[in-house]
Chains A and B, each alone.
Chain A
Amino acid sequence: MATKVVMEALSPTMEEGRLVKWNKNEGDAVKNGDVLAEVETDKAIMELVARGDGVLRKRLANEGDSSPVGTLLAVIATADENIDSIVGSAAPAAAAPAAASGASAPPPVPQSPPQSQGESSAPPQQRVAGTQGGAPPSAPQRPAPARPAGPPPAPRGNGASRTGAPSAPGGRQRSSPLARRIASERGVQLGGIQGSGPGGRIVKRDIENAKATGGAGRSAAADRLAAEGDFKDVPLTQIRKTIARRLAESNGPVPTFFLTAEFDATRAAEMRAQLTEMGDQYKVSFNDIVIKGVALALAEHPEVNAHWLNDKIRHFNRIHLAMAVAVEDGLITPVLFDADRLSLWEISEKARDLAKRARERKLMPEEYTGATFTVSNLGMFGIDQFTAIINPPEAGILAIGGVEEKPVVIDGALEVRQRMRVTMSCDHRAVDGATGAKFLQTVRRYIENPLSLVI
């Protein structure tokens, strides 16, 4: 029995992947779970693993090729199995000689995934019989029973003939009892999984593939958010619905407004200097201090630590704080989970590690999904103030400027103080001006009294 190796959705948002490197050659024996290749997704470089045992009979993509999710990349089969029909079904890639190594040969143009692969979400590698590979899945065949003469038989009530029916018009996601049980045991949510059974039924192998490909990573993160008691859903009142509708009409899909405040960071700077004197293990950055302050403030303001979910607003009790990290060709927002419960030094260590691995593109999907709120800091680039774009469905984002010396008037006298400006972008559907302002007051209290961050 041959196993098709397809481009899998290795991140929640991946639509195509670039094959960076083959780890197995044609003719190599492979086992279920072996790493076949490295694939660059839109977020990171991930491993593509075998989903069957046998010999890697044919590679259909070259290193450097980009292919849409679902594209056939290789075939695993027994050494003497006829795989022509499977390879033949992958017309576009197979047409390009797999051995072509000359730079002059144009890379194969990625084609749409085969129809049978469905949409872009993780199609499992499909196990197919060697003799039937490539044939489209046919309707379940029921041997036509010979019937005695007489009136046509009444429909039998066994329901067997219905198993191949398409999903219900209501869009109810079908799943086998076993699949539901495994999903619940593993904390995988069925919502994002494409079922491979009849009528889109989610079956055991879909759960296992979701776990293996990182679809479950998102689910695990989502699950972390969705644990009972970790949030409160706020039903939308009429005035809230009207505000949401009117403001969205006026100002894009996320009607954003901005609140800017200038904090006195003198004490924070002094504390930071003192900590640095105590030794490297106590050293923290301004960013760490701000993250800690924001996390503690969010714990006091769940109405800001919120998601806009169209029919309701979800206030989270747990603080999963994302921080924007610039990477070579974009940015990514790794998450500090339960940031309010981390000590300043734990934040410092985790933030440094996440930023480093983000730049190396080594983050796992579950490390950059599941945030409840985000901070973005451009202070290190000499930016003293900016506005950040909200990452929906989060209700806000805080943009942190750099700390600089400024003259300020205190009790009628001019003084030189360390100052920093922050700007909060708020989704007005979920957060009103006064709500955001009160949150910033709390952030100010923490930043301006930095000992409260370490006790």
Chain B
Amino acid sequence: MAVVTYRDALTQALREELQRDDRVFLMGEEVAQYNGAYKVSKGLLDEFGPMRIVDTPITELGFAGVGVGAAMVGLRPIVEFMTWNFALLAIDEVVNAAAKMLYMSGGQYKIPMVFRGPNGSALQLSAQHSQAWESWYSHIPGLKVCTPGTPADAKGLLKSAIRDDNPVVFLEGEMLYNTKGEVPDGEHIVPIGVAELKREGDHCSIITHGKMVLVAMKVADDLAKEGINIDVVDLRTVRPIDVEAIARSVQKTNRAVVLEEGWEICGMGSQVVDFIQRECFDDLDAPVLRVHQEDVPMPYAKNLERAAKPDAGKAIAAIRKVMYLD
């Protein structure tokens, strides 16, 4: 298996799917001539030409709508948002057009489309550019939402998303683009809606997704030194959620901490906790705890930003609490 960056894994997926199906095209700000704001589309203009790698004006609502129209007439668009913070301007097309078209057309128009781009906070990008949006889109029937945390999952899920006949919201991580990991050679597909147990342990479950997978793995490493073994359940897709994988883990460990990048109220963790209390009530030895961003707009100041973000220390504290160690 080759070790590649998360960014290159995404590029591989795009290239392979552009080669595989000529209905697939990529559209967004700076994706062609500039090779993408984060270089995910590097080299694709040269290979596939300006009809399939399309630069757009700074008009999120406009090009998202063009994408939906293209999907309605049989193409398979990939719309890149420079970041998901900018996609707020296009959310009407995502939620009211893409997500509902199949339903409102009585099944006549499927929307085989991917909206993708970096999600969540980076470093000191302040309140308007440091937001994790997965719970917003997961709320909407008609959408699928992928949150890969590793290069292998980024590649495998993006290929599944492009081949899916439904609109898929694909949330990458700016801080993940340079991370490296093994990616299986050849055709590599990760099915949508299937979680992966990234680490096995008996003492406590961490249920997480996206960028926080790396935090969870660090937590598992740190706690292993103390003899505490953690099950790390990477949801990979947050809509649909792999409830069975969550239940399997919690039924084994009897305690869980849900770790996510976004805010507490109505966050992904709220939904995971709800599944746990329904599926695992008699298996719980402690209330499920959540670790998330503090309930504030992201501060700009470095120290405050650090304090506001979820991190390994907060996750370890939560685990020790559900294990009644403190």
Contacts and interface: CB of A to CB of B under 8 A. Distances in A.
Contacts of A128: 325
A106 interface: no
B296 A148 contact: yes
Given A129-B226, A146-B307, A178 B324 contact: no
A146 B294 contact: yes
Chain B interface main SS type:
loop
Contacts of B317: 141
Interface in A154-179: 156, 158, 160, 163, 176-179
Contact of B324 (A53, A129, A148, A203): A203
Contact of B326 (A137, A148, A156): A137
B297 A148 contact: yes
B324 A197 contact: yes
B284 A178 contact: yes
B289 interface: yes
B169 to A, nearest CB: 27
Contacts of B307: 143, 146
A163 B322 CA distance: 11
A204 B286 CA distance: 9
Interface string B290-305: 0000111101000010
Given A140-B326, A146-B304, A178 B294 contact: no
A127 B325 CA distance: 7
B92 interface: no
Interface string A122-142: 000001110010000110110
Contacts of B286: 176, 197, 203
B37 interface: no
A94 B307 CA distance: 41
B224 to A, nearest CB: 11
A205 interface: yes
Contact of B294 (A140, A141, A145, A156): A145
A53 B226 CA distance: 12
A377 to B, nearest CB: 48
B139 interface: no
Given A1-B226, A203-B324, A176 B285 contact: yes
Interface in A344-398: none
Nearest to A128: B325
B297 A178 contact: no
Given A146-B308, A196-B324, A203-B324, 6 more contacts: A145-B295, A147-B296, A153-B295, A180-B282, A197-B324, A205-B324
Interface of B: 226-228, 254, 264-265, 281-287, 289, 294-297, 299, 304, 307-308, 314, 317, 321, 324-326
Interface of A: 1, 53, 127-129, 132, 137-138, 140-141, 143, 145-148, 153, 156, 158, 160, 163, 176-181, 196-198, 203-205
6 contacts: A143-B294, A163-B287, A176-B286, A177-B283, A177-B284, A177-B285
Top 7 A-B pairs ranked by shortest CB distance?
A178-B285, A145-B294, A204-B285, A176-B285, A181-B282, A177-B282, A178-B254
